[in-house]
Amino acid sequence: MTGDPETHWIPPNHPRRESLLIRERLVDGFREGYVAAQGLIAHGRGECFDYLIGEESIPPALTAERVAVAALLTAERPVISVNGNTAALVPRQIVELARLVNAKLEVNLFYRTREREELIARVLRENGAEEVLGVGDDASCVIPELFSERRRVSCRGIYIADVVLVPLEDGDRTEALRRMGKTVIAIDLNPLSRTSRAANITIVDNVIRAVPNMVRFAEELRDRPRDELIGIVKGFNNEENLRAVLTFIRDRLTELAGKGITLEFPKHGSDG
């Protein structure tokens, strides 16, 4: 982001302060013109699923994040796709991840305008990116059988990539990239979405946790032997991992239902 959101109205001891700060970063990006209005709705939908997993990186998510990093490190032409929400929430971390796994960064948008492309590229450069693909005339190749504006990609990036990281939900593009023979890594809080089910590796986690986790895994794995990394990827089953996510959610909700949910309010006198 290029500016700090106005957060003076959020009390330091507010129980949802972190969540409110994240929302403000998205609103700030919307005001600056690179987060789409629909992106705000998408974030709200994701927050619902984040509640279900307890707003933490659960074991199946950590497993998928580690496998995803191994896949990126062993790829010949890895690319990280970036949209407005990603640029608003984890710009520095996504640039660092790209550096660690030697991946290209490419802007790819459903609600595409030249202004949004350039603004997102500027945010990434301000956070250390040396090159950003997919802006303007660079997005001159087309993903077959995809009819949204996401079909326009860089001929030097997503079009020739063997592994593509897709932060946040996008089922149509995930399916189209799979038909092109690419390995798709998705970050999607909804384990039931088409994106989650179509991807090769699905990370059911909030992007604000997933990308920093992947940075740490990249620092851990980048010097490991290639054969070891390939073994990590081959030993992963996405369907089984998604089942583990659903089982986690089921067990957590069952536990919460058994305990009951009690709301406690502070005592401020008899007029509350």
Look up the CATH number of the domain holding residue 123. Answer: 3.40.50.12640
pLDDT of residue 44 exceeding 70, the answer is: no
Q: What is the DSSP string of 34-53?
A: SS-HHHHHHHHHHHHHHHHT
Contact 61, 245 (CB under 8 A): yes
Question: What are the residue ranges of helices labelled H in 129-267?
Answer: 171-179, 194-198, 207-221, 226-234, 238-259
pLDDT band at 3 (very low <50, low <70, confident <90, very high): very low
Per-residue confidence at 113, pLDDT binned at 50, 70, 90? confident
> Measured between alpha carbons, how far is 170 from 175 in angstroms, rounded to an integer?
9
Q: DSSP label at 137?
A: G
Residue range 156-171: mean pLDDT, rounded: 91
Does residue 229 form part of some domain?
A: yes
* Cα distance between residue 48 and residue 34, in whole Å: 24
Report pLDDT for 8. 54
Rounded Cα gap, residues 124 and 147, in angstroms: 27
> DSSP class of residue 138?
G
Using CB atoms within 10 Å of the CB of residue 44, give its burial: 0 to 12 exposed, 13 to 18 middle, 19+ buried. exposed
**What count of other Cβ atoms lies within 10 Å of the Cβ of residue 82?**
30
Amino acid at 201: I
Domain count, the chain: 1
Decide if 180 is inside a domain.
yes
Q: How far is CA 129 from the centre of its chain?
A: 18
Q: Assess if residue 189 is contained within a domain.
A: yes
39 vs 210, more confident: 210
pLDDT at residue number 11: 62
**Helix (H), strand (E) at residue 6:** none
Q: Residue 82's beta-bridge partner residues? A: 107
pLDDT of residue 191: 95
Q: Residue 80: is its pLDDT beyond 80?
A: yes
Q: Quick one: average pLDDT of 33-51? A: 76
Contact between 139 and 154 (Cβ < 8 Å): yes
Residue 220 lies in a domain: yes
In-domain check, residue 226: yes
Q: What is the pLDDT averaged over residues 78-100?
A: 94
114, two tokens: 């030249």
CA angle 130, 122, 176 (to 5 degrees): 80
Q: Give the range among 16-30, 204-218, 220-234, 250-264 with minimum mean pLDDT.
A: 16-30
Q: Which domain holds residue 207?
A: 59-247
Residue 25 lies in a domain: no
pLDDT score for 16: 61
Answer yes or no: is 101 within a domain: yes
15 falls within a domain:
no
Dist. CA 24–CA 217, nearest whole Å: 28
| Amino acid present at 101 | V
Rounded mean pLDDT of 29-57? Answer: 80
Residue 107's φ and ψ, nearest 5 degrees, are: -75, 130
